[in-house]
Structure 1
Amino acid sequence: MSLKLAFLASHGGSAARELVRACHDGRLGAVPLALASNNSRSPALAWAREAGLQTAHLSRAGYPDPDALDEAIRDFLTQSGADTLVLSGYMKALGPRVLAAFEGRVLNIHPSLLPRHGGRGMYGDRVHESVLASGDAESGATVHLVTLGIDEGPVLAQSKVPVLSGDTLETLKARVQAIEGELMLRAVRELAAR
C-alpha cells in the first residue's frame, strides 16, 4: 500500500519538494496530498498550491489558543487523507493531537548527526555553528520519528559529511543540505517497507 503524504513547512519546504518530485517520477511509491504552513508567505505554501496539493495556512494568528491550533492542524491533515506526516523545515513544535493522529508516522530531518547538536534551540544555522564550534570531524543529517521530546525520537536514517579544515557556516550548511533530499527519500522508503 502506498503512503499518503502530508507536509508541514515554514519556509522553502525542500524535503517536501524532493519527495513530491520522487512521487511524480516513480522513485517513491507514495501519494502527496497536502501541505500546511505556519507562515502565510512561505514559498512552500505557494509551491504546494501550484503543485496541486491541498494547502492551508495554520498559525497562532488564526488560532491564538495552542490547543485550538493543534486541533486545526490535526483536522486539516487527517481530512486530507494522509497517513504519514513529513516535517519540511517546520519551525514549530507539534502538539499532542497531531502526534497522536500520526503516531509513529511523523518524520523530521535534522541537520546534524543526532543526538549531537539536537534539542531545544538547535535548528537552522545554530546547528552548523554548534558543529563548527565543537571541532567535530564530521556532521551530516538525521531523519527521525517525531515524539514529544525535541529531536529525541527514534532515528530512521543518517548520512555523514566531513567537516573540512576552513569550513564556514555556509560551506558546511551547503554540504549537509546536498545530502538531505536523498536521505529523506531513503527514510520514507524504509518507513513504507515496515
Structure 2
Amino acid sequence: MSDKASAKKKKIVIFASGSGTNAENIIKYFQNSDSTRVLAVFSNKKFAGALERAHKLNIKALHFDRDAFYKSNEILNLLKDMNPDLIVLAGFLWLFPSNIIKQFPDRIINIHPALLPKYGGKGMYGSKVHETIIAEKEKESGITIHYVNEKYDEGQTIFQATTTISENDTPETLAEKIHSLEYRHFPKVIQQLLDEKN
C-alpha cells in the first residue's frame, strides 16, 4: 500500500484501564483493514494488560497519570497531534476531561456492560455491574455503546445488544455472556461510525 493510501486510513485511539481484551479484539479486527488502523492504546495504569497486549501487536502503548490527563494538556496535545477519527474507551475507568471532549465532539465513544440508563454511573463497572444485576434478579442484561460526555455513562446511546439471564446465572457467567456481546458487536459499531464519517 502506498503512503498516500495509508495516510487516508481512518484512525482510532483506544483508552483502557484493565486487562485489555476488548482493546485486543478491536486491534485484531482492524489489523488487515484497508480503511482503518489503531494508532495507539493509552492507559492510566502503568502495568495494565491492555498496554502489554498492544505491545505484542506492535501498537504504540502509552501510560499517563492524573496530572497529564486533568491538569496539564499533555494528553490533549498528544491526541491533537494524532488527530484520531474516533477515540474508543474500552474498559477505561476515569471520567474524560471536558477539554478533550470539546476538542473531539462526537468522536469519543464508550462501551458499558449493562443496558443504560440502568446500572451506570460512578463506581458501576466490571464485576460490580454484574453482581448488582444478579442481586436485582433482572431477566436480561446487555451492552451499551454510547458517546462520551462530562458525566459517567450519560452520553447519547449509539447501540445496545441484550442477553437473557437464567436463574442459574452467576456474576461470572453473566460476565462471559456480556464479553461475548462486546467482542461480537464493538468492532462492527466502530466500523459503522467511521463509515458514516466519510
Determine if the TM-score, normalized by the shorter chain, exceeds 0.5: yes
Alignment equivalent of 1:188, drawn from 174, 190, 193: 190
Is 1:126 the counterpart of 2:151 in the alignment? no
The percentage of counterpart residues that share the same residue type is: 30
Aligned-residue offset at 1:54: 2.4
Q: Confirm whether residue 75 of structure 1 aligns to residue 77 of structure 2.
A: yes
* Deviation of 1:34 (Å): 1.1
Q: C-alpha distance in 1, partners of 2:167/2:143?
A: 19
* 1:168-179 superposed matches below 5 A: 168-179=170-181
Q: Distance in 2 between matches of 1:161 and 1:133?
A: 17
Write out the 4+ residue segments of structure 1 that deviate beyond 6 Å after TM superposition. none
Quick one: distance in 2 between partners of 1:39 and 1:75? 20
Measure how far apart 1:22 and its partner are.
1.1
Paired position in structure 2 for 1:100: 102
Cα 1:83/1:175, change in 2 over 3 Å: same
What's the offset of the Cα at 1:190? 2.3
Superposed, 1:1-194 pairs within 5 Å as: 2-26=9-33, 29-60=35-66, 63=67, 66-68=70-72, 71-194=73-196
Equivalent residues of 1:7, 1:35 under 8 A apart: yes
> 1:67 corresponds to which letter in structure 2?
K
Alignment partners' CA distance in 1, 2:68 and 2:13: 23
User: TM-score scaled by structure 2?
Assistant: 0.88
CA shift, 1:166, in A, is 1.7
Report deviation, 1:2: 4.0
Shift of 1:11: 1.4
Deviation, 1:81, is 3.5
Partner SS for 1:193: helix
Greater relative contact order structure (CA < 8 Å, 6+ sep)? 1
Structure 1 gaps, min length 5:
none
Question: How many equivalent residue pairs?
Answer: 189
- Rounded to whole Å, the distance in 2 between the matches of 1:186 and 1:158 is 12
Distance 1:107 1:5, change over 3 A: same
Q: What is the CA RMSD across the aligned residues, in angstroms?
A: 1.8
